[in-house]
Structure 1
Amino acid sequence: MTSLIDLEKAGKIEKTGATIKLPTRLNNLGTENMDVYRIPLKYLYYNDKNGRISTAIAGYHDELNPVNDTVDPAYNDFVAKLIEQNNPAALKRTQKSIQESGQRICGYVLEDGRIVDGNRRYTALRNLQKATGKTYYFEAVILPFSYDNQTDRSKIKKLELAIQMGVEKREDYDPVDLAVDIYQTTTGDDAMMTLADYVNVANMKKKEAERYYQGAVYMREFLKFIGADENNYNLIKENQIWSPFYEMGKSLTNNFGDDADSQVQKNETMHSYFGLILHDLHVGVSGTPARTHMRDFTQNIVKSSNLNEFNDEVSDTVEDLADTLQESPINNTTDLMTQLTEANDNISQFGDTYDTYMRDAKNGESVEKFIKSIKDSVKYYEDLNNNGGLAGTLRYGEISNEQLKQLQTYMRKLDGLCKDLFNKYGNEIR
């Protein structure tokens, strides 16, 4: 492993003369000013533990070896391409700024060369070096931490969050990246930090972080359900279906208890949600409309007395759908869409059942709304009568005889309509 500190001692890395104060307090470092170094690009590499990068490379772990360019440039080349594809305009602006004025904001790197902050700046410098043949350096603070040390991991993550989401600047995470970052940082026996610590450092609300965490859990369950790698989060990003998992997490958390029967019902409902997501994908519904579908399903079926009946009716269809999807490997969106086409009959059957239940639920809701509107109208006239026949602060002295006759005419019409409607409803009673 390359040690930047050893390289500095050997004279291969030099200080710029600048110092910077850490944006958060870390054990053994506090918030002391730290030296900024000029580091040759070949000794650095993208941090595979970073939230955004780990999401992007999740499906390529067997192919990629996170190392610097002196060992093998393939890893850095791969990640650099992803960063450029993610926001080419932003990278172009950064590259132009560095070319004209130099690197204005220093980054943070670990002793082994992993970049904790400054991925876009490093990518721009790397591109400039390749394009011009000139030697460029990445200016950064070298942190005396390593991911190999369990106690260092939480410190590294704390600094990363403070930079990207906390006190120094706020960068908007892609929601999938954020969900995965929360999940990976706080899950398992060797978790970098607790969810409460993450919330504190990232300046998030606990409820929000919990919902992102649950969304990540159900993304992984969905990916396993369709036969994909449970870490292949790019499938979620490419198809813009994050919001259904966010909504699903809220619903399954709020509407089911911890007892055994509730957990069985919760698992069955999760599969029904998966069926709806796949149906929407097949018919081209994503983004905000997909989120609306999830909310409608939650409101009209999950929260209704018909949930068990619905789950029972679609269970075989959803199981057959999963079997069809798992017949061939699903590594990307093309694979998924191909398998969805193969499962067209199952998806159509699910859609027909879903539409029937939703239509019945909404019709029932319309009846209730209709009855409530009549009830509200009756109350209005009751209040009018209790107030002497006038609304609010009106007084009879303010109303002319002509206007009183108009009111009588309307009341006569209303009386007649009420009698007609009363008889119509009576005739329909079975």
Structure 2
Amino acid sequence: MILISPILLIKKTIKQLELDLQMGKEDRQDYDPIDRIFDVYNTVYVEKIMTPQEYAKSIGKERARGINNDIKEAKLISSYLEFIGAPRDAYYIAKELRLDGPMNEVRRVLDKNKLLDDGEVKSAVFALLSMHYSGTDANEGGDITRLIRKELQSMVSKKDDWVCLTEDNVDTIYDAFQDTPVSDASQISQILNSSEGIKAASNDFMRSSRRLGKMNEYRGELQKVVETVSACVESLESIDTATLESLTVEQSKDVAADLEKIGMIVRKDYDVLSQTGNLL
């Protein structure tokens, strides 16, 4: 038989009454999503006043799965606040950023891929979030939750490549936040634009991340490109020089014009490949 201390029993009873009142008021105001998540986190995980199942039952839920997901999400939010140099319990910043939506997507993807405890992947994800919160996505009412949903699975599926490509930039972004801790949401943009070095690292991080995402999104198309170029080379190589010498004047002009176009296309595409750095 498990004995419960009188103090814990009192706390548990009070908490059950609070939840009963919250659920029972006809004109009740719903919790802010961040408040709700951290009420679960503090009640179940930190203070251990209730089990996940007890909390779920107190709010009219049959299963504890949602409660356990709330705890995972709260941990991620706290870790993100720490990443940007804020106290782990600076919930007001999480509210300003409306972190509940984006972080729910982060929790879902990382949980599905068993990466909730992978510090390197989480740091890359937090850098990605910071970039969205520092740009027009946040300032012009963009849907960061939708953007994260679209991007994250693609990048996480190539997590080793993503971490390898971006780790130096992530370190620079992290160090920038630790040097100038965030005290309100608007500072994220200010810090990431505070020096040319930090701006360069941030831009490079996004370029690398998006390029990797596109590679994964279009991996079937990528192989088609390789095969198409190879087929073009074979077709050109199959042309007999003697045949070219036998063309009429008009035919020679037409072929020469097309070959010139081919040369321009080849040079342009080769320059694109050179700029990726993949040819080094």
Same fold (TM over 0.5): yes
Q: Determine if the alignment matches structure 1 residue 247 to structure 2 residue 105.
A: yes
Q: Determine if the alignment matches structure 1 residue 193 to structure 2 residue 47.
A: no
Deviation at 1:367, TM superposition (A): 7.1
Identify if the C-alpha distance between structure 1 residues 201 and 331 changes in structure 2 by more than 3 Å, giving closer, same or farther.
same
Contact 1:244 1:294 in 2 (8 A): yes
Contact 1:278 1:347 in 2 (8 A): no
Q: Distance in 2 between matches of 1:300 and 1:329?
A: 30
1:111-131 deviation line (CA, Å, top 9, x unaligned) = xxxxxxxxxxxxxxxxxxxxx
Partner of 2:90: 232
Please point out which of 258, 275, 282 is paired with 2:134: 282
Partner of 2:192: 340
Q: Determine if the alignment matches structure 1 residue 297 to structure 2 residue 121.
A: no
Q: Determine if the alignment matches structure 1 residue 351 to structure 2 residue 211.
A: no
Please point out which of 251, 256, 259 is paired with 2:114: 256
User: SS of the counterpart of 2:114?
Assistant: coil
Partner of 1:158: 16
Deviation at 1:171, TM superposition (A): 4.0
Contact 1:226 1:326 in 2 (8 A): yes
User: 1:198 is aligned with what amino acid?
Assistant: Y
Identify if the C-alpha distance between structure 1 residues 269 and 329 changes in structure 2 by more than 3 Å, giving closer, same or farther.
closer
Please point out which of 156, 178, 181 is paired with 1:326: 178
Q: TM-score, normalised by structure 2?
A: 0.69
Q: Determine if the alignment matches structure 1 residue 268 to structure 2 residue 123.
A: no
Contact 2:136 2:142 in 1 (8 A): no
User: 2:59 is aligned with what amino acid?
Assistant: A
Q: Distance in 1 between matches of 2:128 and 2:147?
A: 8
5+ residue gaps in structure 1?
1-147, 371-423
1:71-117 deviation line (CA, Å, top 9, x unaligned) = xxxxxxxxxxxxxxxxxxxxxxxxxxxxxxxxxxxxxxxxxxxxxxx
User: 1:213 is aligned with what amino acid?
Assistant: I
Deviation at 1:340, TM superposition (A): 2.3
User: SS of the counterpart of 2:104?
Assistant: helix
Q: TM-score, normalised by structure 1?
A: 0.46
Q: Distance in 2 between matches of 1:427 and 1:333?
A: 53
Q: Distance in 2 between matches of 1:426 and 1:341?
A: 44
Q: Distance in 1 between matches of 2:199 and 2:69?
A: 32
Identify if the C-alpha distance between structure 1 residues 298 and 155 changes in structure 2 by more than 3 Å, giving closer, same or farther.
same
Q: Distance in 2 between matches of 1:273 and 1:231?
A: 20
Identify if the C-alpha distance between structure 1 residues 362 and 244 changes in structure 2 by more than 3 Å, giving closer, same or farther.
same
User: 1:297 is aligned with what amino acid?
Assistant: E
Partner of 2:269: none
How many pairs does the alignment contain? Answer: 219
Deviation at 1:197, TM superposition (A): 0.8
Q: Distance in 1 between matches of 2:35 and 2:131?
A: 24
Partner of 1:56: none
Contact 2:120 2:163 in 1 (8 A): yes
1:173-212 superposed matches below 5 A: 173-188=31-46, 190-204=47-61, 205-212=63-70
Contact 1:243 1:288 in 2 (8 A): no
Q: Distance in 2 between matches of 1:351 and 1:208?
A: 32
Identify if the C-alpha distance between structure 1 residues 426 and 220 changes in structure 2 by more than 3 Å, giving closer, same or farther.
closer
1:269-319 deviation line (CA, Å, top 9, x unaligned) = 1111101101101113247721122222332121x2x22011111111111
- In terms of fraction of residues, the more strand-rich structure is 1
Q: Distance in 2 between matches of 1:193 and 1:344?
A: 46
Deviation at 1:167, TM superposition (A): 4.3
Deviation at 1:358, TM superposition (A): 1.7
Q: Distance in 2 between matches of 1:333 and 1:285?
A: 14
1:31-430 superposed matches below 5 A: 149-164=7-22, 166-169=23-26, 171-188=29-46, 190-204=47-61, 205-256=63-114, 263=117, 266-286=118-138, 289-302=143-156, 304=157, 306-342=158-194, 343-364=198-219, 427=231
Alpha carbon RMSD of aligned pairs, Å?
A: 2.8
Q: Distance in 2 between matches of 1:232 and 1:327?
A: 18
Contact 2:215 2:222 in 1 (8 A): no
Bigger relative contact order, structure 1 or 2 (CA pairs below 8 A, ≥6 apart)? 2
Q: Distance in 2 between matches of 1:426 and 1:268?
A: 38
5+ residue gaps in structure 2?
1-5, 235-280
User: 1:194 is aligned with what amino acid?
Assistant: T
**Percent identity of the aligned residues?**
21
